[in-house]
Chains A and B, each alone.
Chain A
Amino acid sequence: MTRSNVAANAFEVVIGLEVHVHLKTESKMFCSCAVCYGESPNTRTCPTCLALPGALPVMNAHAVELAVRAGLALGCEVRERSVMARKNYFYPDLPKGYQISQYDQPLNARGFLEISVEDEGVWTTKKVGITRIHLEEDAGKSIHEDGVAGADVSHMDLNRSGVPLIEIVSEPDLRSAKEAGAYLRALHDVICYIGVSDADMEKGQFRCDANVSLRLLEKAGSDEFGTRTEIKNLNSFRFVEEAIQAEVKRQKKILEQGGAIVQATLAFDRHAKQTRVLRIKENAHDYRYFPDPDLLPVAVDTMQIARIRAALPELPTQKRERFQTQYGLSEYDARLLTASRELADFFEAATKEHGKAKSVANWILRDLLKLLKQHETDLVNLALSAATFARLIQLVEAGKITPKSAQEILPELAMRGGEPETLVAARGLEVVQDTGVLESAAAEVIAANPDAKERYLAGEEKVLNFLMGQVMKRTQGKASPAQVREFLIQKFKE
């Protein structure tokens, strides 16, 4: 069969993601060494995580608990008895010569995650299958340095050796780089919500491998898949999307030229925005998995599962739906407000103080998020409490300050803290209440624009906006826009 001249759009993209998440435990998975980031190399090690002769692993019960929590949050069936297995391969950052992981009997299986993808303002939701979530340990870190005289030197830092992880494997349900990005973000949200990980991508606490294949559109929906490649170690949302796009392009080009995809492991070159083959399948490892005889099967009883389930916090999707019904927010607004647990909590606290959810939502979505973006910071870093934020909005709504003034003092409240009332007084931002001042300002502006009245009465509404701007200027923005507008219209009608 010849595959030449297959049109570029005749393919469906099939993507599955494998995500590694560091679990937030005090100690490592099989020893009592502290889990840490940025400590001096090899200072958080012991006979077990250095794999000294005779040392043995003992399972960290908290890691199991966190993994069960993740499984339950992602709709998995939790196995009451799962098996730790050895994955055998040689690499200097793997001290034992095998990684303790799970193989044919993982802790969690058959879950799902609902994602929403926006396309030209329309949101579509999709249920992405999760094949399994299993427990495993991290390896150490290799630090390569170019030595003198061409000799390469590599150093090993084993502080990370034995840090507990879960690997979350999705079904090949994703159909575009955009969907993959949406899945990864939604997964990141859930993981952060339930507190099983800090999931800091820069620290390598949330890492992604992407499996990508193409198949003819006519095969869509079937069990038949194209040959897949795996892109390793993508550690930002953007890289995941870019890498998939690059790989899709590479595979399309090969297929269009009548070639065949070779099963391979790839790396993504973020600068060239290209995928590069690391090794092909013929050179793949035979990991010789077998149950680790040093560890008993992981046992989680139904009582424990029930207890962990009961303690699960509200998940992003549940919260979004509640925000829509309880506060009458649009799906779009609810989605933005539930993007992080901190933001959602802030919204609810401010609403409780203020009373009107829609006002609070507007101020958060319009002003607060903009501020965070400008300062490249997170809500937790702000000196602004939800109550203060609510009072600021109330000042505006009571007509005490103008929205513009509120926007002006928000950055200071956010960064340095303080009371809105004090700041308003200090800066003299109280709305001009003296009608005489407003009236004379309106008269002056109309006088300066003699044709304005005629144009307005002829139906040219924007003239009014221009004049309003002039009045605001003369009152240094401290006039109530509504009041100014009223005065101007009154004057025109005189």
Chain B
Amino acid sequence: MAAGSIPLGTCAELRRALDTGSVSAVQIVETALARARTLDPMFHAFLGMREERALEQAAAADARRLRKEVLSPLDGIPIAIKDNLAHAGEPTTCASRILSGYVSPYTATAVARLEAAGAVILGRTNLDEFAMGSSTENSAFGPTRNPWDRTRIAGGSSGGSAVAVAAGIVPVALGSDTGGSIRQPAACTGVVGLKPTYGRVSRYGLVAFASSLDQIGPFGRSVADCATVLEVIAGHDPKDATSLPESTTLSCDKWNGDVTGIVIGLPKEFFCTSGLDPAVRDRVHEAVAHLEKRGASVREVSLPHTKYAIATYYLIATAEASSNLARFDGVRYGHRSAEAHDLDTMYQATRSEGFGAEVKRRIMLGTYVLSAGYYDAYYRKAQQVRTLLRRDFDQAFTQCDLIAGPTMPEVAFAMGTRTADPVTMYLSDVYTVSANLAGIPGLSLPCGFHDGMPVGLQLLGKPLDESTLLRVGDAYQRETDWHLRRPPERTA
């Protein structure tokens, strides 16, 4: 077989192979690069590869292993990062023309922690421009396609990272989740995605979309791999004032598939949504029934303000985005219009040329939301509703240990069908935005198929309780093989 014809296994499998010496980090990285070369023209998961540096880092990992100085369970493992994370010496494009020519002089904390753990950064992955979107169709460099069906969306905004894992190019990847941007593409592509508790992972070096909602998290084939990556990237960072001081101990080695005593809450509001595909609902119920068989109990809970979540989310996220994206002004870096000859027209032309339609739409929405005379009616009101949503979860978590439901109301839809109708597109975030508004952790994992496409189960946890989410998710994966299914491989 040609190099790169075999999909990469999980981190755990690769680690065992490295430990026994049956494969080297350089061979693993060569395989990943070869698969990217073969497959990525079909999927467009990557915006840039780091071939030379990645191979150097792999060689260094092999040398460490020979010296028995292995840095972490990720030492020598290739990982892809979403192209809104700063990495010194590399472009950070955010899939936007406005950052053309920009090369970051510094590295995001999460990326620096991966490198310090010996992980090999393979390349930058595609996204909706500035992480604004649910399909990765809003990339200035073209959309990412779903490996299960290339006519369908990969989900978004971290579609590139999801597909890089789903296509077996890398075992793990980093994404960012502001309203579902890790969990939703994970569901679309049949992989695991984790959005940690707000503040769990430093945002330093993550190009901000909505600062109070953004959180970096991992993609992987297995829940255990996501846990491994989380342990490396999590923890307090003095460079991010909103990062939490709590340490992250997941005790993965004690997981044994037992979920006895765990109470799973099913919010009634999640299952009476008009847009919920009955097949998706059935897959979720089957998954919950499976966990019940393993010792969990199930009860109905209520999140009464769920119906306001989307509106609240789009008010807060756009308001923050309108301010966060003001720095892209053509003055210091990135694109500057060649047309303008005075300050005002330089700003206007630069931003008109540099930003795509969805980004402009959200900047305008957010500017409006914060305007004098509208602030109270929109932004302040949205913050008040956000508090109510948070209380819904506090209340629900007095009755259960975690909440289960669908990650998205349907399977990945066909590309191009929603781009003209932003509101319908926004509605696909209905199950994911609440976790960002409440700051709680959320995990999406594959729980079956419908129409040949993967279905995602979402588990939501108490703040800082990633441990329960991951333990329950791991227990599910010990009994099922949905996460081991791979999309059929054809060449272009």
Interface residues, chain A, CB within 8 Å of chain B? 47, 50-59, 86, 88, 90, 92, 95-98, 156, 286, 288-290, 293-296
Contacts and interface: CB of A to CB of B under 8 A. Distances in A.
Nearest to B96: A53
Interface of B: 84-86, 92, 94, 99, 102, 104-106, 108, 203-208, 210-212, 238-242, 319-320, 322-323, 325-329, 331-333, 343, 347, 367, 370-372, 375, 379
Given A88-B370, A156-B331, A286-B371, A56 B241 contact: yes
B103 to A, nearest CB: 11
Given A58-B238, A294-B242, A97 B94 contact: no
A58 B238 CA distance: 8
B327 A296 contact: no
A293 B325 CA distance: 14
A56 B203 contact: yes
B239 A58 contact: yes
A98 B92 contact: no
B240 A97 contact: no
Contacts of A51: 327, 332
A90 B329 CA distance: 8
15 contacts: A52-B333, A53-B84, A53-B92, A53-B327, A54-B86, A54-B204, A54-B208, A55-B106, A56-B203, A58-B238, A92-B329, A98-B326, A288-B367, A290-B370, A296-B242
A47 B347 contact: no
Nearest to A156: B331
Given A290-B370, A290-B379, A55 B323 contact: no
Contact of A296 (B84, B94, B241): B241
A294 B211 contact: yes
Contact of B323 (A58, A95, A98, A286): A98
A52 B104 contact: yes
A293 B207 contact: no
Nearest to A53: B207
Nearest to A51: B327
A54 B319 contact: no
Contacts of A56: 203-204, 239-241
Contacts of B207: 53-54
Nearest to B347: A90
Contact of A54 (B206, B212, B320, B375): B206
A96 B206 CA distance: 15
B476 to A, nearest CB: 34
Given A54-B85, A97-B323, A293 B106 contact: no
Given A54-B207, A286-B372, A293-B320, A47 B94 contact: no
A294 to B, nearest CB: 5
A50 B332 contact: yes
B211 A293 contact: yes
A95 B332 contact: yes
Contacts of B327: 51, 53, 95-97
A56 B84 CA distance: 14
A90 B328 CA distance: 10
A101 to B, nearest CB: 13
Chain A facing B: main interface SS: loop
Contacts of B370: 88, 288-290
A296 B85 CA distance: 23
A95 B331 CA distance: 8
Contacts of B211: 293-294
Contacts of B328: 53
B326 A90 contact: yes
Nearest to A30: B241
Contacts of A97: 323, 325-327, 329
A95 B334 CA distance: 13
A169 to B, nearest CB: 19
Nearest to B370: A288
Contacts of A289: 370
A51 B327 CA distance: 7
B99 A53 contact: yes
Interface centre among A47, A52, A286 (most CB of B within 10 A): A52
Contacts of B99: 53
Contact of B108 (A54, A294, A295): A54
A52 B331 contact: no
Contacts of B343: 92
Contacts of B85: 54
B374 to A, nearest CB: 10
A290 B316 CA distance: 11
A296 B211 CA distance: 12
A56 B202 CA distance: 10
A393 B379 CA distance: 70
Given A56-B240, A97-B329, A293-B211, A288 B94 contact: no
Nearest to B87: A54
B19 to A, nearest CB: 35
Contacts of A52: 86, 104-106, 333
Given A88-B323, A286-B371, A290-B379, A53 B329 contact: no
A286 B327 CA distance: 17
A167 to B, nearest CB: 20
B326 A96 contact: yes
B204 A55 contact: yes
A44 B242 CA distance: 25
A295 B241 CA distance: 6
**7 closest pairs, A vs B, by CB?**
A97-B326, A293-B212, A288-B370, A293-B211, A53-B207, A54-B205, A51-B327
A190 B415 CA distance: 66
A49 to B, nearest CB: 11
A156 B205 CA distance: 24
A88 B329 CA distance: 13
A364 B213 CA distance: 63
A58 B331 contact: no
Residue among B108, B329, B367, B379 having the largest count of chain A Cβ atoms under 10 Å: B329
A288 B332 contact: no
A290 B381 CA distance: 13
Nearest to A86: B323
Nearest to A50: B332
Contacts of B241: 56-59, 294-296
A289 B323 CA distance: 10
A156 B332 CA distance: 9
A288 B323 contact: yes
B215 to A, nearest CB: 13
A53 B334 CA distance: 10
Contacts of B106: 47, 52, 55
A470 to B, nearest CB: 76
A288 B371 contact: yes
Nearest to A287: B372
Given A57-B241, A59-B241, A92-B343, A290 B203 contact: no
A288 B365 CA distance: 13
Nearest to B93: A53
B238 A290 contact: no
Nearest to B208: A54
A211 to B, nearest CB: 20
A290 B323 contact: yes
Contacts of A53: 84, 86, 92, 94, 99, 102, 104, 207, 327-328
A288 B108 CA distance: 29
Nearest to B85: A54
A446 to B, nearest CB: 84
B341 to A, nearest CB: 8
B233 to A, nearest CB: 15
